[in-house]
Amino acid sequence: MAQHFLLSAASRTLSLRKIYKAGENVAYQMFCEMRWPETGGEAVCPKCSHDEAYKITTRRKFKCKACAHQFSVTSGTIFASRKMDFVDLLAAICLIVNASKGMSMVQLSRDIDCQYKTAFVLAHKLREAIAQEVHTGEVLDGHVEIDGAYFGGHVRPHNEKAKRVDRRLKKHQTGTRRVVVAMREREGRTLPMVAKTEGEGVGFAIENISRDATMSADEASHWDTLHDGWMVDRVNHSEIYSDHGKHTNMVESFFSRLRNMIEGQHHGVSPKYLHQYANHSAWLEDNRRTDNGTLAKIVVSNAMEAPVSRDWKGYWQRAA
Ligand SMILES: [Zn+2]
């Protein structure tokens, strides 16, 4: 049997040792090259696009020779007003891309020795950068599987039996339960969305799946509507999981990764950010055969293109 990709040397092209051995200047240079690929890392003014700037090396800043605007490599990106060293930032990205089922923020904060709050916001900013790879705006095609899985809203049963309530009733639920609907090409991308009911997934399919595609879904009755637009293979999970090639196993393996991430690493997440964990998981799923150095570069490059995060800039200052 061929060796599994993740066990091969080709999957390991970046390591913490390499990052720290190369040092801060090399890490900084990498961010410059990712920010300004068209000039090979030479600064380009974000205000007037002029490509000559004075270097204020002591503070790692630039001053545009045309308009005198001062900026840094992270100005206007999700890493704006970052305080972390570039080498630590790169190490954090390496750890995150290596964690194939996600990573708890306590662990990240210990590994790179930063505050929990810093790790939490950093990881969320990186998920925003990753989301651009997942939500490309392109429709899915070929053979597309669709399914939903519920997350959150757990109500702990009362200790004494006499005080326990019927947790199936709406009035006893927390209101934080959500469903992740995922659409996955058998040969390609995974696209997750968050909704309150699985039936909303029909609308997602209409918006995001090519009419030339064929689909697979389980027996849930809300998927019946899909037959109006597509050829749909149905599989009845109460009887069989894979019926002569009719299955939704690809989308199920995405849910398995997402569940491992949320339950194993994060121990439950807010419904407000569930979509970001789903995006993160979809990206890991779609890139499970990409080496870790390439993954880190994709994240840095996306982060350098992502505008200042509205959700996460100054998050803890606002929360305080
Ligand atoms: Zn300028």
How confident is the model over 84-100, as pLDDT tens digits?
A: 899 999 999 999 999 98
Residue 46 has pLDDT above 70, yes or no: yes
Write out the residue limits of the CATH 3.30.420 domain(s) in the chain. 143-287
For residue 259, the CA-to-ligand 1 centroid distance in Å is 47
For residue 48, the CA-to-ligand 1 centroid distance in Å is 4
For residue 308, the CA-to-ligand 1 centroid distance in Å is 19
CATH number, span 143-287: 3.30.420
For residue 82, the CA-to-ligand 1 centroid distance in Å is 22
Q: Tell the burial category of 289 from Cβ atoms under 10 Å away from its Cβ (0-12, 13-18, 19+).
A: exposed
For residue 49, the CA-to-ligand 1 centroid distance in Å is 6
What is the per-residue pLDDT for 196?
92
How confident is the model over 113-139, as pLDDT tens digits?
A: 999 999 999 999 899 989 989 999 999
Query: Quick one: pLDDT band at residue 317, thresholds 50, 70, 90?
Result: low
For residue 43, the CA-to-ligand 1 centroid distance in Å is 10
What is the per-residue pLDDT for 70?
95
For residues 161-183, one letter each, b for 16 or more C-beta atoms within 10 angstroms of the residue's C-beta and e for the rest, the string is eeeeeeeeeeeeeeebebbbbbb
For residue 238, the CA-to-ligand 1 centroid distance in Å is 64
Task: Give the residue from 135, 124, 256 showing the smallest Cα distance to 191.
Answer: 135
Q: What is the mean pLDDT of the chain?
A: 89
For residue 54, the CA-to-ligand 1 centroid distance in Å is 11
For residue 168, the CA-to-ligand 1 centroid distance in Å is 60
For residue 39, the CA-to-ligand 1 centroid distance in Å is 15
Could you tell me the pTM of the whole model? 0.87
Q: What are phi and psi of 319, to 5 degrees?
A: -70, -25
50 or 312, higher pLDDT: 50
Lowest mean pLDDT among 26-30, 152-156, 252-256: 152-156
**3-class SS of residue 204:** helix
How far is Cα 318 from Cα 320, in angstroms, rounded to an integer? Answer: 5
Contact 205, 184 (CB under 8 A): no
For residue 258, the CA-to-ligand 1 centroid distance in Å is 44
For residue 279, the CA-to-ligand 1 centroid distance in Å is 35
Contact 279, 130 (CB under 8 A): yes
For residue 40, the CA-to-ligand 1 centroid distance in Å is 18
